[in-house]
Amino acid sequence: MRKLVAHVSGKVQMAGYRSKVVIIAKAFDLKGYVRNLQDGRVKIFAEGSEADLERFLKAIKIENTLIKVEDIEAEFSEGLEAYDDFFKVVGEHETDARLDVAAEHLKELIAAVREGFKETNSKLSEISGKQDEMTDKVDEAGEDIVSEVQGLRSDLKGRMEERLQRIEGDVVDIKARMRP
């Protein structure tokens, strides 16, 4: 068991560096911690096999959009086997602790929204089914109305033809009476 104490400088605070270090350390099954120092550096205390610590040291030299490791001062010595896990030390006034809580709340919110959409989709399906039923009823009612209107038109046509014939007959009678 070996111990690594490393002081990392560069853009390593308020950039998510410690969280990345924790993930990498756990991947190598290392024990220890990572914490911010007041001078802007990050201190890493890690225990594990010498080979894993060497690979870990290479892996934590991160450079991306937010993080830029400029230097790592590393010291190796005999391990103490002082820790059971690898963790991030969060200071009292650091936002990390609040962000961790916020992240958990965000996960809950996402789950609630997803569940809400499932429920909404279910209700929309139900509404769509009822809408289809109503459309069928409207179609049936429309067919009944068309049939009724056709029947009324037929009745009216027949009555109009009768009245027209009577009027024509009356006109013929009136003309015949008017002739001398």
pTM greater than 0.75 (yes/no): no
Count the domains in the chain: 1
Kindly state whether residue 110 falls inside one of the protein's structural domains. no
Instruction: Write the CB contacts of 55 (distance below 8 Å, at least 6 apart in sequence).
Output: 28
The distance from CA 110 to its chain's CA centroid, rounded to whole angstroms, is 6
- pLDDT value for 5: 97
Kindly state whether residue 177 falls inside one of the protein's structural domains. no
Helices (H), the chain: 17-27, 50-59, 96-178
- pLDDT value for 129: 82
In this structure, how many other beta carbons lie within 10 angstroms of the beta carbon of residue 132?
10
Kindly state whether residue 49 falls inside one of the protein's structural domains. yes
- pLDDT value for 101: 59
Cα distance between residue 105 and residue 111, in whole Å? 10
Kindly state whether residue 19 falls inside one of the protein's structural domains. yes
- pLDDT value for 36: 94
Question: Each residue's pLDDT tens digit in the chain (180 positions)?
Answer: 999 999 999 999 988 899 999 999 999 999 999 999 999 999 999 999 999 999 999 999 999 888 999 999 999 999 988 899 999 998 776 766 556 556 667 777 887 777 777 777 777 888 888 888 888 888 888 888 888 888 888 888 888 888 889 898 888 888 888 876
- pLDDT value for 47: 97
Domain that holds residue 67: 2-92
Kindly state whether residue 14 falls inside one of the protein's structural domains. yes
- pLDDT value for 99: 65
CATH number at residue 17: 3.30.70.100
Cα distance between residue 131 and residue 118, in whole Å? 20
56 closest CA partner among 40, 81, 76: 76
Kindly state whether residue 115 falls inside one of the protein's structural domains. no
- Tokens linked to 116: 């809400």
Cα distance between residue 98 and residue 107, in whole Å? 14
Kindly state whether residue 113 falls inside one of the protein's structural domains. no
Active site residues: 18, 36
